[in-house]
Amino acid sequence: MEVVDKGLLKQLVEGRIADDDVDEMRRMAKKDHQRFWTYLDILQEKVSWDNTILMRLNDHLYIVMRGNERIVKCDCGHEYGDYRVNWKLHTDIRTRDTQESMEKVYYPTAAAPDADWMEVREFFCPGCSAQLAVEIVPPGYPLTFEAFPDLDRFYREFMNKPLEDESPDWFKDKTADYLAAL
Ligand SMILES: [Zn+2]
């Protein structure tokens, strides 16, 4: 296999690819450069909105273009605002901070964290209620910013196709500014 065709990549994205095909893809001497663009095409076809997808963050969230902004958007259409601000701040959060509440989601229950030391935070989309992330951290720990990609550098250096609105300002975490302004 020289190039992964779109049909195969779509099967991969949808989790219904055959094991043999995965093996063959893994054995490719060189990954084809086109794959990322085909991947974006597939993602774009699967969502119901028109904003251009720049990168996928997880099963439901994407960084997309909205006019001259780069925002985080759920596949359901819910928008989380500027991608430089941790999107978790705009989710519905359930915190499990008692042993009893943690043991409801751990099996065996002995595997649950110690509620004296840790808490379990679950993040849900306000638009579709999908669970977007889970983090297990000491109480009071700031929300972890799981992925903050340098999009300009990725598109320029790795994909050889710079974004039109490149600016050093895009790769600045604005979460603290956002919180300070509340
Ligand atoms: Zn959603």
CA 49 to centroid of ligand 1, rounded, Å: 12
Q: What is the pLDDT of residues 47-69, one digit of tens each?
A: 999 999 999 999 999 999 999 99
Confidence of residue 4 (pLDDT cuts 50, 70, 90): confident
Domain-terminating residue out of 99, 118, 137 = 137
Residue 172 lies inside a defined structural domain of this protein: no
Measure the CA angle with vertex 92, ends 91 and 94; round to 5°.
130
CA 116 to centroid of ligand 1, rounded, Å: 32
CA 64 to centroid of ligand 1, rounded, Å: 14
Residue 67 lies inside a defined structural domain of this protein: no
Residue 12 lies inside a defined structural domain of this protein: yes
Residue 84 lies inside a defined structural domain of this protein: no
CA 164 to centroid of ligand 1, rounded, Å: 28
Residue 147 lies inside a defined structural domain of this protein: no
Q: What does the pLDDT read at residue 104?
A: 95
CA 47 to centroid of ligand 1, rounded, Å: 11
CA 150 to centroid of ligand 1, rounded, Å: 24
Residue 18 lies inside a defined structural domain of this protein: yes
How many separate domains does the chain show?
Answer: 2
Q: Domain range holding 32? A: 1-46
SS3 label, residue 139 = coil
How would you list the strands of the sheet with 69-74, edge to edge? Answer: 53-56, 61-66, 69-74, 79-82
Amino acid (1-letter code) at residue 4: V
Residue 127 lies inside a defined structural domain of this protein: yes
CA 79 to centroid of ligand 1, rounded, Å: 8
Residue appearing with tokens 């095909």:
21
Residue 143 lies inside a defined structural domain of this protein: no
